Amino acid sequence: MRLSLIVLLLISWQTGHAQATPPAQNADPQLLFQQGEAALKSGNLDESEREFRRVLAINPQVAGAYANLGVISMRRKQWPPALEMLRKAENLAPEIAGIRLNIGLVYYRQNEFREAIPPFESVVHDAPNSFQARYLLGLCYFFVERYGDAATTLEPLWSQASSQLNYLYVLGIAANKAGRADLEQRALTRLVEIGQNSPEFHLLMGKAHLNREEYDEAIAELELAAKGDSSLPFVHFDLGMAYLKKQNLERAKAEFLKDISIEPDVAYNYDQLGEVYYLQQQDQEAEKAFRKALRLDPQLASSHFQLARVYQRQNKYSEALIEAEAALKLDPDSPGIHYLKGQVLQRLGRTQEAKAEMQTFTQMSNAAREKRHQELEAGPIPNPELTQEPQ
């Protein structure tokens, strides 16, 4: 869905033109807007921003100008100002679904899938035939483990998306988790039919084995994918995960570094590379890797958690507590983080707080055991290769 900026301009201008005060140079705000839009299309973000701000200086009620300033910040990956501008646009033009779509995208691109769900839901409600909004909503449901909702949301896209391997993979897994065997079989049959022997197919099959903890089978499939296309994004990341699970740390490190050379801005690569360094007791390198991951994705709870472990091992308990608390804000339901925080609090002499954290850990662990989340640092295997947005 593409936001119609000219329509937004006309809507906003009709509501605010009577109060507008032209600047001394008698600039034409509609011309300024068109110039800003042209600059945005050509990728000249500085010029585009300047023109849209000139529009707002004349009339601060132009929703389209705020919306475009939000898009400019999105392209710069400046998420807080993007959200601020888009919220202003939404307040002025709540009926424009494209603004809410971009709000959802701001959250989605930060891997804040729960926060992305409400704006995407509102777009799908207003525009049920929006492919992009429905696809992204289905992925968000999938990533937060609302598998029934994911399957229900994604199934109507079959006629448009059943030639896409990622779509079929996600739909098949969601259907399986939701107990919809017929839809699972339909999706997986189609996946095999169109995937055949492609590197992308072997990547997804390897990922499926990885999720089932079948590491040798995962490596076999992923090696086939890498042989077919050594620069395929995420194939080396998943190979690194498989070798890490088998405690082959040197091979895991090599694979993560290969994926970094292909996808240098994927936070998960640095997060997992940091874990390798931590296990090799190379704390300085581990800290660098986790800090890099957090620069790329400040919402990555696992990097805060792992940093806390590094500082704990170095007896830097105050620093460890800061990181543990940051991790808990992002993932309050993690038994492992509560356990680590309890250990750190005990070292700091805060006995009662430590006891409370250990009690929370015990309660969560007992509940989580039924879901096979027994490990202290348990959590789902990251799925960065599945987050790609539909074209």
SS (H, E, C) the chain: CCCCHHHHHHHHHHHHHHHCCCCCCCCCHHHHHHHHHHHHHCCCHHHHHHHHHHHHHHCCCCHHHHHHHHHHHHHCCCHHHHHHHHHHHHHHCCCCHHHHHHHHHHHHCCCCHHHHHHHHHHHHHHCCCCHHHHHHHHHHHHHCCCHHHHHHHHHHHHHHHCCCHHHHHHHHHHHHHCCCHHHHHHHHHHHHHHHCCCHHHHHHHHHHHHHCCCHHHHHHHHHHHHHHCCCCCCHHHHHHHHHHHCCCHHHHHHHHHHHHHHCCCCHHHHHHHHHHHHHCCCHHHHHHHHHHHHHHCCCCHHHHHHHHHHHHHCCCHHHHHHHHHHHHHHCCCCHHHHHHHHHHHHHCCCHHHHHHHHHHHHHHHHHHHCCCCCCCCCCCCCCHHHCCCCC
CA 382/CA 142 separation, integer angstroms: 12
What is the pLDDT at residue 6? 36
What is the pLDDT at residue 212? 85
CA 212/CA 76 separation, integer angstroms: 38
Which class does domain 265-391 fall in?
mainly alpha
What is the pLDDT at residue 367? 66
CA 299/CA 297 separation, integer angstroms: 5
**Is residue 10 within 8 Å of 33, Cβ to Cβ?**
no
Packing angle of the helix pair 215-228, 235-245 (nearest 10 deg): 150
C-alpha neighbours within 13 Å on the C-beta side of residue 334 = 26
CA 100/CA 132 separation, integer angstroms: 12
User: Please, where in the chain does CATH 1.25.40.10 lie?
Assistant: 1-95, 265-391
CATH superfamily, with its number, for domain 1-95 = Tetratricopeptide repeat domain (1.25.40.10)
**Is residue 54 within 8 Å of 32, Cβ to Cβ?**
yes
Identify the residue whose tokens are 């390897």. 206
pTM for the full model? 0.77
Residue pLDDT, tens place only, 314-372: 999 999 999 999 999 999 988 999 999 999 999 999 999 999 999 999 888 776 555 54
Residue pLDDT, tens place only, 67-109: 999 999 999 999 999 999 999 999 999 999 999 999 999 999 9
Residues of the chain with pLDDT under 70: 1-26, 367-382, 385, 391
**Is residue 32 within 8 Å of 78, Cβ to Cβ?**
no
Q: Please, what's the largest Cα pairwise distance for the chain?
A: 72
What is the pLDDT at residue 369? 58
End-to-end CA distance of the chain: 11
Burial class, 391, CB count within 10 angstroms (exposed 0-12 / middle 13-18 / buried 19+): exposed
Residues contacting 290, CB < 8 A, separation 6+: 270, 271, 274, 303, 304, 306, 307, 310
Which class does domain 197-258 fall in?
mainly alpha
R_g of the chain, CA atoms, integer Å: 24
Residues contacting 196, CB < 8 A, separation 6+: none
Which has the closest alpha carbon to 115: 125, 106, 124, 127? 106
Residues contacting 180, CB < 8 A, separation 6+: 151
What is the pLDDT at residue 52? 96
Identify the residue whose tokens are 């409400």. 118
CA 168/CA 159 separation, integer angstroms: 12
Residue length of the chain: 391
Tokens representing 264 are 């240098």
What is the pLDDT at residue 10? 37
